Amino acid sequence: MSLQKSLTERIFQAVGFELLAVLICTPLLSWIMDKPMTDMGLVTLGVGLLALSWNVIFNSLFDRLLKALRQAHNGWTRVVHALLFEGGLVLFAVPLIAWWLDISLLQALILDLGVLLFFLPYTYVYHWGYDVLRDKWLQQRLAH
């Protein structure tokens, strides 16, 4: 089942994605970088807000592309989705990270690539799980 998602649902999906990511990443990055939780929390939140905006825009465009190409969500389209989403985010996030943490662009890129190793599977699993739960919820709603 794949009814078109509304803008409100897109925002809900993106907010859930980012909130869960912030809750996981802030303490982990604080520990890895040996930075105060506040500093890493603000960086994580800033990148999260950037990613939230990117998430809503990218997912809408990606779904339109899949529809135009008459492609269903499957394993391969989810891999492409995750790679394109995270690749675009790197272009926006690295300068923000470098500025906030007062590190070089190369250091920020290395940090971001490390975080990317987490986010590639996280993006795949989150959106797959969201779609599975959404389909079950829609089927239950249609059954009543």
Residue 143 has pLDDT above 90, yes or no: no
Let me know if residue 2 belongs to a domain: no
Average pLDDT over residues 106-130: 90
Return the amino acid letter for 15. Answer: V
Let me know if residue 137 belongs to a domain: yes
Alpha-carbon Rg for the chain in angstroms: 16
3-state secondary structure of 100: helix
pLDDT tens, residue by residue, 51-86: 888 888 998 999 899 889 888 878 899 899 988 998
Domains contained in the chain, number: 1
pLDDT band at 39 (very low <50, low <70, confident <90, very high): confident
Let me know if residue 62 belongs to a domain: yes
What domain range includes position 111?
Answer: 7-143
Let me know if residue 1 belongs to a domain: no
Let me know if residue 22 belongs to a domain: yes
Identify the pLDDT of residue 102: 85
Buried b / exposed e across 108-121, counting CB within 10 Å, b at 16+? bbebbeebbeebee
61 touches 85 (CB < 8 A):
no
